[in-house]
Amino acid sequence: MILNTVSGRTYNDLSQYPIYPWVLSDFSSNELDFNNINIYRVFNYPIYAQSEESRENLDLKYDNFDEISGFKYHSGSHYSNAGFVCYFLIRVKPFSISNAEIQGEYFDTTDRLFWNIEYLSQLKEKYQELIPDLFNMPEMYLNINKFDFGLNSEKNNIDNVIIPSWGKHSPRLFSKILKKSIETQYVSCNINNWIDLIFGYKQKGKQAEKFYNVLRDVCIKFNPEKDCENDKEMEIKINEICEMGINPRQIFTKPHKKREKHQKIKAFFFKNIFLQYFKPQNKINQLKNIEKNDCIKEMRQYHEYPNKYISRGEGGLSSFRIAFEEDDNEENKNNNLIYFIISGKKTLIPPSYKNYIQ
**Domain extent listing, the chain:** 2-244, 266-357
Beta-carbon contacts of residue 70 (< 8 Å; ≥ 6 apart) = none
Give the Cα separation of 25 and 6 in Å (integer): 28
To the question of domain 2-244 being in CATH 3.30.428.10, the answer is no
**Count of CA atoms in the C-beta half-sphere (13 A) of 342:** 17
pLDDT in tens, 138-188: 999 999 999 999 998 888 889 999 999 999 999 999 999 999 999 999 999
Non-local (6+) Cβ contacts of 41 within 8 A are 21, 22, 23, 24, 25, 47, 50
pLDDT in tens, 295-313: 333 333 333 333 333 333 3
What is residue 15's predicted lDDT score, i.e. its pLDDT? 87
pLDDT band at 17 (very low <50, low <70, confident <90, very high): very high
pLDDT category, 331, cuts 50, 70, 90? very low
If you average pLDDT over residues 271-297, what whole number do you get? 36
Q: Which band of pLDDT confidence, cut at 50, 70 and 90, is reported for residue 79? A: very high
Q: What is the pLDDT of residue 103?
A: 84
Q: What is the pTM of this model?
A: 0.71
